[in-house]
Chain A
Amino acid sequence: MKRLFAVTLGILTAIGGFVDIGDLVTNALVGSRFGLSLAWATVGGVVGICLYAEMSGRVAAVTGRGTFDLVRERLGPRFGLANLVASFLVTLLTFTAEIGGIALSIELVTSVNYLLWVPLVGLAAWLIMWRVKFSLLENAFGLVGLALVVFAVALWKLHPDWSGLVHQVVAPHKPHKEGLLPYFYYAIALFGAAMTPYEVFFFSSGGVEERWSAKDIITSRTNVFIGFPLGALLSLSIAAVAALTLLPRGIQVDSLGGVSLPVAVALGKIGLAIAILGFVAATFGAALETGLSCGYTVAQYFGWQWGKYVRPRDAARFHVIVLLSLIIAIGGVLTTVNPVTITEYSVVFSAIALPLTYFPILVISNDRDYMGDKVNGRISNTLATVFLGVIVVAAVAAIPLMLLTKAGQ
């Protein structure tokens, strides 16, 4: 019974924790411009993150080691450092976007300018990362994040033509007025929103924080293979409601208010309130994950003691990195650059940085010296290698497409 509870909790947390500011903004924006014709990119991204998270979860459970610890071992100090710098900067950018997202969400409720909330939000985030137990942190925000199910409810309430929606997903047809280049640019953005690198740093480091061992592989797999796809259904709901309410009216999403507009249309004030609660929980949870991941990556590369499972005084450098990252993230939001813009860039850069950590994890999860007999099976290996090809193509195409489309216009 206790086991069932733990498993359910894990799945629910994975669903609620799946969506972050990147998913909120990108899915709504894509829905309002392209309908569901890019749903395949979200689906692809979810399959990818499932593979990726399963491998790193298994690696963490069997080796008891974090991602960057192993990345440096396998790639050597020089490539490992290049990898670290790129991954750290992308994670820091995402952290900045999440802090901005929290502040924007609170602005939606209070109508007080988001910039005024930023320092308070930063302080709250730091206090939680400093004092609150890891499992409580993960579970609390994951569960409240389930409020985003309101998007699925809104979708149902809008009485869509279900067969028409399904047709758009399986036989995608790019809208006439949108160009082919922005279409593929946003495909990459959706990919990067679903397959964020920090998700994997956090997931595998979290496995070590929670002292996973080989017997926890099943729990980790259940969370991943059930939780993530259900979380992706939330992402698709966000795109679908935007497609149904905003696309016909030619309204493009360019703010967090725009993301919540379809829910307000479908379910009124109460739906809107629940959606905003979901926004706050999802972005806050993601801020904690990205903030801690800034610390995990650097500390693991250098071999420093890291983690919340020891007292702060025993992991001083780790906590200082987290604190410094938070200060930079706060500073980044306070430059008054639109957090939605920061978010749009962060998902594309996530897609670019993705192969850097995916590749070493793929190699290590095949290495019997580390994994014993828990290496990748033939089928998952083939699938994982195909995905490696896909994300390399996406990573290489991202910058040219960004320049050619001026970031999606």
Chain B
Amino acid sequence: MPAGRELDLQLHLLDRQVKGPDGRLICKVDDLELELDEAGRPYVTAILVGPRALGPRIGGRLGRWIVSIAERLATAEQASPPRIDFAHVTDIGSSIVLARNRSELSVTPLEEWVDHYVIARIPGSRHESE
């Protein structure tokens, strides 16, 4: 009987909130990247993030449409959806906790775009509410 914790991918990992070490919210587990080991058994190598990862899980025409829009907006280097290597995961519980925070990964391009072009230009965006 192999030692180690038992996890169901759908029940315990997929669609879970991903947080940084400071508790700040980063993203959801939109899909998981799997590779095959020497015995041909798949294992989790990374968390996949964003519309290109989520689209196929929503499925149907809507899912394909989401993926095609996202692909059009992505640049040439970003050939596959943003990924967070499983090596960054420090805890799997009610949420997935990482050792890196959002600014150190680059899995949320929309947030950065919106922040840069919209929010940062509105006065008061740098400060906590009073």
Interface residue ranges, A against B (CB under 8 Å): 63, 65, 69, 72-73, 76-78, 80-81, 130-134, 302-306, 308, 310-314, 316-317, 319-320, 369-370
Contacts and interface: CB of A to CB of B under 8 A. Distances in A.
Given A78-B59, A130-B129, A312-B119, 5 more contacts: A302-B27, A305-B25, A308-B129, A311-B127, A316-B119
Interface stretch (B13-21, B32-40, B74-82): B13-21
B122 A77 contact: no
A245 to B, nearest CB: 43
8 contacts: A69-B17, A78-B57, A78-B59, A131-B129, A310-B24, A312-B125, A319-B119, A319-B125
B114 interface: yes
A303 B28 contact: yes
B118 A77 contact: no
A320 B118 contact: yes
Interface in B94-130: 94-95, 102, 108, 110-111, 114-115, 118-120, 122, 124-130
B54 interface: yes
Interface of B: 10, 15-18, 24-28, 30, 54, 57-59, 94-95, 102, 108, 110-111, 114-115, 118-120, 122, 124-130
Nearest to A62: B94
Contact of A306 (B25, B57, B119): B25
Contacts of A311: 125-128
A77 B27 contact: no
A77 B108 CA distance: 18
Contacts of A69: 17
B125 A313 contact: yes
Contact of A130 (B108, B114, B124): B124
Contacts of A63: 94
B111 A316 contact: yes
A253 B108 CA distance: 50
Contact of B15 (A72, A304, A310, A317): A72
A77 B15 contact: yes
A396 B58 CA distance: 25
A76 B124 contact: no
A349 to B, nearest CB: 22
Contact of A313 (B30, B57, B110, B119): B119
Nearest to A305: B25
Contact of B94 (A131, A306, A319, A369): A369
Given A303-B26, A308-B129, A317-B114, A65 B54 contact: no
A313 B123 CA distance: 11
A338 B120 CA distance: 36
Nearest to A130: B124
B27 to A, nearest CB: 5
Nearest to A134: B129
Contacts of B58: 77-78, 81
A305 B120 contact: no
Instruction: Pick the most buried of A81, A310, A311, A314: most chain B CB atoms within 10 A of its CB.
Output: A314
Contacts of A369: 94
Nearest to B120: A313
Contacts of B59: 78
A69 B27 CA distance: 11
Nearest to A303: B28
Contacts of B30: 77
B25 A320 contact: no
Contacts of B129: 130-134, 308
Nearest to A323: B118
A402 B45 CA distance: 52
A379 B119 CA distance: 48
Contacts of A317: 110-111, 114
A361 to B, nearest CB: 15
Instruction: Pick the most buried of B57, B114, B125, B129: most chain A CB atoms within 10 A of its CB.
Output: B129
A353 to B, nearest CB: 20
Contacts of A302: 27-28
Contacts of B114: 316-317, 320
A310 B25 CA distance: 11
Nearest to A369: B94
Nearest to B113: A316
Nearest to B119: A316
Given A303-B28, A313-B115, A317-B114, A133 B130 contact: yes
B94 A370 contact: yes
